[in-house]
Amino acid sequence: MADHEGKTVTSGSNAGSGNMIFEPILEDGVFRFDCSGNDRHTAYPSISFVNSRSRDTPITSDKVPSYTPTFQCLLDQQVVKLELPIGTSFYGTGEVSGQLERTGKRVFTWNTDAWGYGPGTTSLYQSHPWVLAVLPNGEALGILADTTRRCEIDLRKESTIQFIAPSSYPVITFGPFASPTAVLISLSKAIGTVFMPPKWSLGYQQCRWSYLSDQRVLEVARTFREKHIPCDVIWMDIDYMDGFRCFTFDKEHFSDPKSLVKDLHHNGFKAIWMLDPGIKLEEGYFVCDSGFKNDVWVQKADGAPFVGDVWPGPCVFPDYTQSKVREWWANLVKEFISNGVDGIWNDMNEPAVFKVVTKTMPESNVHRGDKELGGCQSHSFYHNVYGLLMARSTYEGMKLANEKKRPFVLTRAGFVGSQRYAATWTGDNLSTWEHLHMSISMVLQMGLSGQPLSGPDIGGFAGNASPRLFGRWMGIGSLFPFCRGHSEKSTSDHEPWSFGEECEEVCRLALKRRYRLIPLIYTLFYFAHTRGTPVATPTFFADPKDPTLRKLENSFLLGPVLVYASTLRYQGLDKLDCTLPKGIWLSFDFDDAHPDLPALFLKGGSIIPLGLPLQHVGEANPSDDLTLLVALDEHGKAEGFLFEDDGDGYEFTKGKYLLTHYVAELQSSVVTVSVSKTEGSWERPKRHLHIQLLLGGGAKLDTRGMDGEALQVILPSEEEVSKLVFTSEKQYKKRLENTVQIPDVEEVSGPKGAELSRTPIELKNSEWVLKVVPWIGGRIISMMHIPSGTQWLHSRIEINGYEEYSSIEYRSAGCSEEYSVVDVELEHAGEEESVVLEGDIGGGLVLQRQIYFPKNTANVFQIDSSIIARSVGAGSGGFSRLVCLRVHPTFSLLHPTESFISFTSVDGSIHEVLPEDGEQFFEGNLIPNGEWRLIDKCLGLALVNRFNVAEVFKCLVHWDFGTVNLELWSENRPVSKESPLRISHQYEVVRIR
């Protein structure tokens, strides 16, 4: 490492095992564990903790750990294992896809540009080496592996947590405490709470990659207002820049950003603009010149600035691990804000780098970090915190620009502690029902890992949402903490009005719901900021002792409000069967019941504040009416809170706020609602107060008065209450029946004008689940190996995936033409499932493929591909043009730096093909001897591809941006009816350790 030799990460104990040693830190019930006293004293500073010294300073406590981790140090790896009681449920693990309950899963913390990820993807954009364990008795325990390095979180063994990362690192346990909420409050004392968001940032936000001109931005904003659809923010993606140069504006299409923002502000909108870390390497570009002058760039091992390709082409990257660089960036942000920028979006900050298989910069790069962060280290040490430190720099720059306003930053990459500086979203998801379902668990996992301000791209980023999918997603997404619609270029428009009148109305109703609930959401964020309590939580938080609630994935809690949604295409609210926690849960809505909106329930004993159905947050004023929705518990009591301030700035930290504690009590058929106590010096607005008392079945009793007064609701007789409930339920059912539903349109136009289904054909047995899209190239888009839970292939539909071509040219009917489903055998679940597809490739030829599970071999699936002559011309002697059958699978690499290809050639030579080897052909006696393997060392698995050597003349390995192609090529020759080209091959997953 040239000048930096001796300053890289060093290992702790390379041998040894046993119980870890502990000391209490922070507060009673929190313990730090190390492998040895020497490891404790030589540990690197904590970046996740607000104050690293608090992790390193023991406290006096009489408590001892209830559970002690064991360790084993071997080959520079530290393995930490914590065994808990049988019946323990695992959650957390940060930004992850897949199931809510994490038992059986394995996660690798390595921030990755994971475009189009699937449920089995093991590394996404953020890293949280953290597990929340809910014990059988409802108590909870948290465990944090406090390392920035690549870390494996292995939860595959029941009730056992295992961390594996380069040694040495401490682990911190929190609890066991009485509830999961108590654990998260304790965690927040270590890693900090979420920044207090400006109130406007809780409104709906509209984005697209990209709105290509200021006029288009204003057109979108104007349409929201004309259609009375609530919205507060318009986002500017990367195309607003001049040639993708950060801190610049396109001179033609965004020539006057100040005027644009002025117009947006006039109509009640805020403007958020993107900044990436990749700075175009170009002399004369003021940011680049300034960076070289101030020596701010990440370096290669030889000391030269690292250059990698991103959107502008060759780029250099700020080294945010240095305080001088963070200050340099913050001052650029400060100047940028003067253009009227209201918020900043940090994207591509894993950091993403194009044209390399790892999708990021080399791990050998050097960061000259501050001592308090860990000093000068290789990129492998700082990779996972690069996004956090960029977000921190951006946040500090916004504060420099205007210390009277709260910064709003959104970051794609992050680490434990990112919530102190930025919100986040779940990255480049897909417009599919699977991703809609998964978005609920992903948002909840972020909250359970300390980041409550998150949400997905509503409608999906990649691909075209159908009207019903978009409307259903808006219904759910409108109740997430962060609420933004976003879609990529080349997709159809994804604004709420883009899917027809029925979908537009559902979006309008959904967003009006959100805006009525903003007083509640804002109050929840105040508590999250000041106390560390979560905002959105899994349903089991209502009763952690109830094991039947722990796996529910289509419902969640927003404080005392239970949101129950359908994520199934054919199941609307009218067919939804809700599992409610114990106790009283009373349904309510805003007379807006619709099959594509979620069901809402209020927990008995709760009062929630409701606002008016606004078009934007700033539309309200202090004198507007306030509604309190009241649900009494079995004792006839209820309570709730409302936090109010000016919605921005920091005066609330000086006491200029109003926190009202409302209570309700039933005595002698009279319910009295009053103010129990208040905090803060903010003067109570003179406003009308509307009390709505829930009776059940959506029925309500009302009374009105002035806020601050004790108001009373007189309960009628039980018989009258029953009538009210019966009438309300009848009206509710009638509204659902009379609602105009969003049409079930799930079709797209095929290349020849035919209407072809987008719904994949699913083949499955005990080992594999395959999804095949017949309408474009007969594409296999997903290959999941069930026992290991690994997605070996999960691609977007439009490109990549798994296909065959009819020639050696890339452009081929195999990619672009319609396939016909010749035969599907799915009724025999298991070994006999198969699908046969054919595609017309011209010249009297068809490309035929059969995908099936051979009998008595559940561990493999087979693909037989052929180019068959159907009607070649007589003048050709019965032979076709020259053709080559090219089998072309594109596999996404879960762990690019830990993957390679291994095989033995026909001549007996052994080959290992690494990502840095680039593209390689193997012909003749060098082709694999009927088998080659794609090995993932992190997973300890290999995808074995076996084929008939006699049918294969050439093999190709092509490494790309986080993918690899393992191609089989036939000979290149004419075919006749009697001499088709064939390649038969099969796949199996095997363990390698």
Catalytic site positions: 347, 350, 428
Helix (H, G, I), strand (E, B) or coil at 943: strand
Tokens of 31: 């313990």
Amino acid at 395: Y
Residues 109/94, Cβ–Cβ less than 8 Å:
yes
Tokens of 708: 């601050």
- Say how far residue 626 (Cα) sits from the centre of its chain: 34
Residues 197/103, Cβ–Cβ less than 8 Å:
no
Mention every residue, 6+ apart, whose C-beta is less than 8 A from residue 456: 425, 426, 429, 435, 439, 442, 443, 477, 480
Select from 445, 638, 511, 529 the least CA-distant residue to 197.
Answer: 529
Tokens of 812: 């081929």
Question: What's the CA gap between 270 and 342, in Å, rounded?
Answer: 6
Tokens of 87: 């019946």
Tokens of 608: 């929630």
Residues 106/154, Cβ–Cβ less than 8 Å:
yes
Helix (H, G, I), strand (E, B) or coil at 186: helix
Helix (H, G, I), strand (E, B) or coil at 677: strand
Question: What's the CA gap between 307 and 301, in Å, rounded?
Answer: 12
Strand order in the sheet with 899-905: 819-825, 834-842, 845-852, 860-869, 981-991, 941-947, 928-936, 899-905, 910-913
Q: Taking every pair of C-alpha atoms in the chain, what is the biggest distance, in angstroms? A: 100
Question: What's the CA gap between 955 and 953, in Å, rounded?
Answer: 7
Question: What's the CA gap between 120 and 892, in Å, rounded?
Answer: 11
Question: What's the CA gap between 350 and 276, in Å, rounded?
Answer: 10
Residues 864/984, Cβ–Cβ less than 8 Å:
yes
> For residue 667, what are the β-bridge partners?
670
Select from 468, 356, 950, 442 the least CA-distant residue to 743.
Answer: 468
| 3-state SS record for 379-410 | HHHHHHHHHHHHHHHHHHHHHHHCCCCCCCEE
Identify the helix (H) or strand (E) that includes residue 346: strand 343-346
Select from 807, 967, 803 the least CA-distant residue to 883.
Answer: 807
Amino acid at 647: G
Identify the helix (H) or strand (E) that includes residue 366: strand 366-368
Helix (H, G, I), strand (E, B) or coil at 238: helix
Select from 154, 69, 45 the least CA-distant residue to 109.
Answer: 154
Residues 992/940, Cβ–Cβ less than 8 Å:
yes
Residues 202/343, Cβ–Cβ less than 8 Å:
no
In total, the chain counts a number of residues equal to 993
Tokens of 846: 């068809």
Question: What's the CA gap between 234 and 213, in Å, rounded?
Answer: 12
> For residue 664, what are the β-bridge partners?
638, 673
Burial 392-413 (b: 16+ CB within 10 A, else e): bbbbbbbbbbeeeebbbbbbbb
Select from 833, 93, 932 the least CA-distant residue to 445.
Answer: 93
Question: What's the CA gap between 843 and 871, in Å, rounded?
Answer: 8
